[in-house]
Amino acid sequence: MPRVQLAHVPADDFDDFRFPSPFHEQHQWPRFVNRGIVSGRSVDLEPLHHKYLNDMLVGYGWGRLMDLPEVMYPNLVQMFYTNVELKGHGARTVLKFYLKGKWYTLNRSILASIFDIELGNQFAYFVFDFDLKDIADNMGDDMLNTIIETICVDCNTPGGIVRRNLEPHLYLFHVWILENILPKAGHLDAVTSFECYILYFFETEVYLDLPYIIMKEIIRIREAADDSKALGFGAMLTKIFKVFYVDLEGEEIIPTKGPINSISVTSSKISEKIAAREHDRGNPRVANVVAPPAPADPAPAPVLDGRIDCVLGNRENNESSMMLVLILTMTIVLGGG
């Protein structure tokens, strides 16, 4: 690969074991050498709480990312961001990075293989709020409201969404995203437009291509104008370094952040909020209601799909159906709702 040469610096007057060019050593390395690192977090929930994250990630094909290395190599992470480049786009997106005298290449398939995750069929990545509006407009009439209403309890616009606005079963998934996919340091309560987008497609079972998102996020971090922004993917990079047999001898090692555990469930009161959300909807499950005896000469019974409101919404205007609704309603009231 051609080296970038500065007029006032001889081409070979740099550390070519650590950097591919004098430009990387003199201008890029100072931008990253003192940055903090978001390591990423494994998942270690008690079996009782697997439904709040483990089962969701496994069902979406991302389950293997729940188990990440417990250490990272800060100097190599900083060196990685100094020397990484993005090539291609869409399905042909490639990352090239230079470490210890060698170039390495990552593409979608290699990343998926390293972490044993599935490739998705949707390539999406954006940063600004207006991008979500443009995408939603292209998806159809009122799609932006559909996205927000699918993932939120009460909110109006993506720019103002915070975690407490989300459907409670999405709380931990949002935490996991900010630790492992769109890594952020510090305050993690705000929900960006792209996070809304991920949450929506997760809920509707449209499979985003995670390797593509990770590669684009790495480059966004590298190219950010703010040189104090934390670097990301510390634990994932440990695994990548080992797969590529990068020499780790003598490198500084620091522990990664502790796992997402059941304390997160209890402190966020997720179970209670989910129960309250179901109560607010006014849709107790039919399975929890004792069925009344059938009338002597029953009219055709309405079809139930698991919620009482289906009975109320589809009842026929005749005496037998009205009696069935009345009995069901009394059963709910007397049984505590």
14-44 pLDDT, tens per residue? 899 999 999 999 999 999 999 999 999 999 9
149-185 pLDDT, tens per residue? 899 987 655 558 889 899 999 999 999 999 999 999 8
For residue 274, is pLDDT > 80? yes
What does the alpha-carbon distance between residue 42 and residue 261 come to, in Å, rounded to a whole number? 9
pTM above the 0.85 mark?
A: no
Per-residue pLDDT band at 1 (split at 50, 70, 90)? very low
Phi, psi of 277 (to 5 degrees): -65, -45
**What's residue 167's pLDDT?**
92
- CA-based nearest residue to 146, from 135, 161, 136: 136
What does the alpha-carbon distance between residue 136 and residue 139 come to, in Å, rounded to a whole number? 5
Per-residue pLDDT band at 194 (split at 50, 70, 90)? very high
Helix (H) and strand (E) counts in the chain: 15, 7
The H-or-E segment that residue 260 falls in is strand 260-261
For residue 103, is pLDDT > 80? yes
Phi, psi of 222 (to 5 degrees): -65, -40
DSSP annotation of 96: E
Per-residue pLDDT band at 309 (split at 50, 70, 90)? very low
Q: CB of 218 within 8 A of CB of 97? A: no
What does the alpha-carbon distance between residue 129 and residue 132 come to, in Å, rounded to a whole number? 6
Q: CB of 83 within 8 A of CB of 97? A: yes
What does the alpha-carbon distance between residue 330 and residue 313 come to, in Å, rounded to a whole number? 17
Mean pLDDT of the chain: 80
Where are the alpha helices (H) located in 12-158, listed in sequence order?
22-23, 29-32, 54-60, 74-82, 108-115, 129-139, 143-151
Residue of 337 and 191 predicted with greater confidence: 191
For residue 107, is pLDDT > 50? yes
Per-residue pLDDT band at 186 (split at 50, 70, 90)? confident
Q: CB of 15 within 8 A of CB of 50? A: no
